[in-house]
Amino acid sequence: MNSSAHYLDIDGRPGFVMTFGSGKPVVCIHTAGQSALQWQESIKGLVEGGYQAIIPDLPGHGHSEEPATGPVEDLEYYASWIIEVIERLELDRPYVVGCSIGGKITLSLGVRYAAKLSGIVAMAADALNDGQSERALRKNLQDSVSPSRSDRTYYGTLAACGASVSKKRVERIAARHRREDPQVALRDLIGWARHDISGQLDRITCPAHLIVGDDDFWLSPQTVEATAREIPHGRYTRLEGIGHYPMEEIADFGSQLVKWLSEL
């Protein structure tokens, strides 16, 4: 399998991007506080399906340094950063796939960059999420409020996975999420709470597929479906027994993603 790693200087800070394969490019965007590691089980299926997987660590995540201004609270900054990655790597009409904040970033790219994309797959994301309080999230930035945030992340992730996922897999996912930097992850979630493109969905003129697990307690499947209906070429899928992290919860997710991409 052809693979390479890049450090790109974006806004004066190194951003880390990995590529696998040599087919049609697919940019994969991770969730709040996480890194490219979330997509590692998807790479094989994507490459064997004829795609090139491009998997970045967002600024302040994984191997990418955070911006000079500190952790990011605006998902549109991440969207601009992903556009810069696409243009620096000279990707020709890539697909973009993302989950949670990555799904919201993907929707923003559809609004801002649709003419240069082949399509988008946005998982666990809607146009406007009313289930998170920015005020409450800001309180959690204080260590005294929640001294065991890593444990809370661990147990919260256990609860966020779907009923159809094996206990062994769920525990592995939760252990991965417990390693998040809480200052970065919480600000990602502030960005999630503030993000609103509800009046701009008609600008997503490329094919779009919105996907949500029916065990996802972070958002309502109904709001995801409503978002899909507002997109000119929007599709919608509800996954039975899956929670907030389809690419981690579904075994051989890469092959499933190839199917969704071919349908676009």
Q: Structural domain of residue 12, as residue ranges?
A: 3-263
User: Would you state the pLDDT for residue 138?
Assistant: 55
Strands (E), 63-221: 95-99, 119-123, 208-213
Q: Sign of dihedral through CA atoms 8, 11, 14, 16?
A: negative
Domains held by the chain: number: 1
Neighbours of 216 (CB within 10 A): 23
Mean pLDDT of the chain: 92
Q: Range with the lowest mean pLDDT among 71-75, 182-186, 234-238?
A: 182-186
Measure the CA–CA gap between 13 and 9, rounded to whole angstroms.
5
User: Would you state the pLDDT for residue 62?
Assistant: 96
Q: Average pLDDT in the 13-27 region? A: 97
Reading the block at residue 227, the tokens are 């978002």
Measure the CA–CA gap between 167 and 181, rounded to whole angstroms.
25
Q: Average pLDDT in the 220-246 region? A: 96
User: Would you state the pLDDT for residue 98?
Assistant: 98
Tokens 């075994």 appear where? 251
Amino acid letter, residue 238 = R
Amino acid letter, residue 38 = Q
User: Would you state the pLDDT for residue 140?
Assistant: 55
Reading the block at residue 164, the tokens are 């159809």
Task: For residue range 176-218, list pLDDT tens digits in order.
Answer: 998 888 889 999 999 999 999 999 999 999 999 999 999 998 8
Looking only at the bridges linking them, the beta strands covering 3-10 and 13-20 are antiparallel
Helix, coil or strand: residue 162: coil
Cβ 252 vs Cβ 246: under 8 Å = no
What is the CATH classification number for the domain harbouring 50?
Answer: 3.40.50.1820
Task: For residue range 118-161, list pLDDT tens digits in order.
Answer: 999 999 999 987 666 555 555 555 554 454 677 888 888 999 99
pLDDT above 80 for 34 = yes
Measure the CA–CA gap between 183 and 3, rounded to whole angstroms.
31
Share of the chain above pLDDT 70, in %: 93
Cβ 43 vs Cβ 16: under 8 Å = no
pLDDT above 80 for 59 = yes
User: Would you state the pLDDT for residue 194?
Assistant: 92
Task: For residue range 105-128, list pLDDT tens digits in order.
Answer: 999 999 999 999 999 999 999 998
Measure the CA–CA gap between 243 and 207, rounded to whole angstroms.
24
pLDDT above 90 for 258 = yes
